[in-house]
Amino acid sequence: MRYIYAVEKPEKTAKVGHRKPPPTVIFVAPKAVASLYVAASIGRLSALFPRWMSKKVESQYDVTSSQLMLMFLLTQSEKMTMGQLAEMLDLTPRAITGIVDALTKKKFVFRNQDLSDHRITWIFLSPQGKSFLKTARPDIATKLGSLLSVLTRKEQVELVRLIEKLTDHMKEQIDE
């Protein structure tokens, strides 16, 4: 039987050179049971992050995290189609329409029909949207930096790598 061990690493205390007691084992479980702990941890993070965003960002700027992500994507490209946005954000076209409608109402984005193919609608970041992001981005980055400050830069890179790996694998399984 294969086992998974989760171990706390010793941390430095306030006194220079002093460390906490040696690492302690959080759980030792058969791999199948440990997978449930991993899934539960991912679930907790998935539930907590939107609440954190709501409290720390959305309430201050009157935009949702999905709206922010869509606007950040538009800063990377001059224009994107509704389909491209849906694919990049892993949302349904209907959800993207709702987000774009809300941002259009706030005058942060605007739509234009493609001249050669009227089935295609291009979404652009408006001057007001660019101005909003220019003002809000430093504060949002500071807040996210504060949240992630418990992780070293190396741990942050590893976390992103692992999340992307798991996300790609989940997409493959969904598409089977």
Tokens 């199948």 map to which residue?
Answer: 32
The 3-state DSSP class for residue 78 equals coil
Spacing of C-alpha 52 from chain mean position: 12
Residue ranges per domain, the chain?
1-61, 63-176
| For the chain, counts of helices (H) and of strands (E) | 7, 5
Over the stretch 33-55, which tens digit does the pLDDT of each residue have? 678 888 888 889 889 998 999 99
Q: Kindly report, residue by residue over 134-158, the tens digit of the pLDDT.
A: 999 999 999 999 999 999 999 999 9
Using the predicted structure, report yes or no on whether residue 116 has a pLDDT greater than 50: yes
Mean pLDDT of the chain: 85
State the Cα angle at 54 between 52 and 55, rounded to 5°: 65
Q: Which residue has the higher pLDDT, 169 or 8?
A: 169
- Confidence bin at 29 (pLDDT 50/70/90): low
pLDDT value for 36: 82
Query: Is this model's pTM higher than 0.85 or not?
Result: no
In angstroms, rounded to a whole number, what is the distance separating the alpha carbons of residues 50 and 95? Answer: 16
Q: Which helix (H) or strand (E) holds 111?
A: strand 109-113
CATH for 63-176?
A: 1.10.10.10
**Residue in the block written with tokens 């790996």:** 165
Read off φ and ψ for residue 154, nearest 5 degrees: -60, -40
Residues 64-72 have a mean pLDDT of 94
